[in-house]
């Protein structure tokens, strides 16, 4: 008896003949062989354009939307937005992919090697200084962050692709066998694709998140449709062109620009066998219902950090707290939302050092910049509500950035910290307000005494949006107690 157990893997793939992919560094940046624009030349007078990809062809749309430059308000990018009446080609494209995928351990196994070759060439391309700088600057144009933060995205993506060069895609599909309970019986498990799948990614990491999720899906034989937040989709559109240049078959991925309502309609009609969504908890909960559970989610996170009773390396801890709360203007799912500070830290220079570090951040080098999902007014309104809580106070920030031209649809706030007493946080009338996630340069700070540790644990237990957490201590007993509470 031979029984096949197909372990489904949301890691896809699609090969064919790979074309040449090596970049001539003697060319100027705007003549990179895959690029259709130059990041630093995009402007109101020379807008960039973002197209859709379906059934192997780049297409426009009957409706072109315009994106405002988040730094100066110019209409600097035109996007071919697919409307509800234009989704049929995308539905048909997904429906052509069978549930056993474009490849699997029994079908077209040579495609695993093809994707190893694509990864090798794409990793090489991203290692070239002109290509790396192109994507770094393009990220900065649409999701303003410091050059080092944007470059970090490119480097992480390049290292990911390096990790899946050569035979590594094939090895990723490793199967297993288990002896049966009588002669002739075995159980085999295979890394099996879903087939037609959808990937929806947010604005804050325009390259890293979609590339890692997309390539993982492709490696294992799936046929994805990819939707990136339209505010930043120009980055991934250019990356798709790079991947095609490195041998990615043009029919293997569909790329769509649309609003949320249109994408929801497409998902309902195309009925992908799995959807991977990264974004807000509100949309995630709707998708979980609409797609009847056929969805993998990474949604919101109100992320906490606890400083234990043992005080060490105040300079370093304050620097890490500043980075965790305010890098990328706080627009990270892992951003520090609340800091629980043991009373022993109150007698140190921690808070003053955090303030000094926050004050160093400036719009000129994008160490602080536009907030793309909250307006300035909305953040200040939230701050004022918090300051009405008894005992709360503004530690630093709390003002609009000076001398900026950020359009009013976005936010422009100095890095901000609000102190709220622990006892007040736990009150029913305050808890929901204090633990509301503000996706910007904004954090809550509180203090606890040694005998108030149960209150801290109670606060953590009541939080429902868990994503990242940190415990700063070298005390093994304290760490054990906190780590148990994280579970």
Q: Are 105 and 6 in contact (CB under 8 A)?
A: no
Residue with tokens 């474009």: 102
- Bridge partners (DSSP) listed for residue 336: 303
Q: How far is CA 119 from CA 19, 22, 126, 151, 246, in A?
A: 13, 13, 10, 19, 8
57-59: strand order across its sheet: 57-59, 52-54, 254-256, 223-228, 196-201, 274-278, 295-298
Catalytic hit among 298, 399, 423, 424:
298
Residues contacting residue 458 through CB under 8 Å, at least 6 positions apart: 426
- Of the candidates 331, 260, 310, 256, the residue with the CA atom closest to the CA atom of residue 290: 260
Catalytic residue among 165, 237, 333, 447: 333
User: How far apart (Å, rounded) are the C-alpha atoms in residues 76 and 64?
Assistant: 13
Q: Is 298 a catalytic residue?
A: yes
Cite the DSSP H helix spans in 20-146: 88-95, 110-127, 129-142
Three-point CA angle 8, 163, 176, nearest 5°: 35
Residue 333 annotated among the catalytic residues of the structure: yes
DSSP secondary structure letters along 423-486: HHHTSHHHHHHHT---SSSEEEEEEE-GGGHHHHHHHHHH----S-EEEE---HHHHHHHHHHH
Q: Catalytic residue positions?
A: 298, 333
């Amino acid at each position: 008896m031979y029984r096949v157990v197909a372990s489904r893997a949301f890691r896809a793939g699609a090969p064919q003949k790979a074309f040449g992919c090596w970049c001539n560094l003697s060319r100027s940046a705007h003549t990179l062989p895959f690029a259709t624009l130059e990041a630093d030349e995009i402007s109101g007078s020379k807008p960039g354009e973002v197209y859709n990809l379906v059934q192997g062809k780049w297409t426009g749309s009957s409706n072109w939307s315009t994106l405002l430059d988040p730094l100066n308000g110019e209409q600097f990018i035109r996007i071919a937005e697919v409307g509800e009446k234009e989704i049929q080609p995308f539905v048909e494209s997904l429906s052509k992919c069978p549930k056993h995928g474009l490849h699997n351990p029994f079908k077209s196994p040579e495609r695993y090697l093809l994707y190893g070759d694509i990864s090798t060439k794409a990793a090489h391309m991203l290692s070239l200084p002109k290509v790396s700088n192109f994507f770094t600057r393009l990220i900065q144009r649409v999701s303003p962050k410091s050059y080092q933060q944007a470059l970090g995205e490119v480097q992480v993506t390049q290292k990911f692709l390096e990790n899946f060069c050569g035979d590594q895609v094939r090895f990723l599909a490793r199967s297993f066998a288990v002896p049966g309970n009588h002669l002739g019986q075995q159980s085999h498990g295979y890394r099996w694709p879903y087939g037609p799948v959808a990937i929806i990614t947010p604005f804050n990491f325009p390259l890293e998140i979609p590339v890692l999720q997309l390539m993982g899906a492709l490696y294992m034989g799936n046929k994805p449709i990819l939707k990136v937040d339209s505010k930043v989709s120009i980055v991934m559109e250019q990356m798709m062109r790079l991947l095609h240049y490195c041998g990615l078959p043009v029919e293997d991925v569909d790329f769509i620009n649309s609003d949320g309502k249109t994408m929801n309609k497409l998902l309902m009609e195309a009925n992908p066998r799995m959807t991977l969504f990264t974004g807000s908890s509100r949309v995630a909960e709707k998708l979980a219902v609409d797609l009847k559970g056929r969805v993998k989610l990474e949604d919101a996170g109100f992320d906490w950090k606890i400083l234990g009773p043992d005080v060490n390396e105040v300079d370093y801890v304050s620097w890490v707290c500043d980075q965790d709360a305010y890098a990328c203007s706080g627009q990270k799912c892992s951003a520090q939302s609340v800091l629980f500070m043991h009373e022993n830290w109150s007698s140190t220079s921690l808070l003053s050092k955090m303030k000094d570090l926050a004050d160093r951040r400036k719009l000129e080098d994008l160490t602080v910049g536009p907030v793309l999902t909250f307006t300035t007014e909305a953040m200040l309104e939230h701050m004022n509500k918090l300051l009405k809580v008894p005992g709360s106070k503004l530690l630093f920030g709390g003002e609009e950035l000076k001398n900026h031209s950020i359009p009013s649809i976005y936010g422009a706030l100095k890095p901000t910290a609000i102190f709220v007493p622990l006892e007040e946080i736990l009150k029913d009338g305050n808890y929901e307000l204090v633990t509301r996630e503000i996706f910007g340069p904004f954090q809550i700070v509180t203090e606890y005494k040694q005998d108030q540790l149960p209150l801290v644990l109670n606060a953590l237990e009541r939080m429902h949006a868990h994503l990242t957490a940190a415990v700063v201590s070298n005390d093994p007993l304290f760490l054990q107690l906190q780590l148990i509470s994280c579970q």
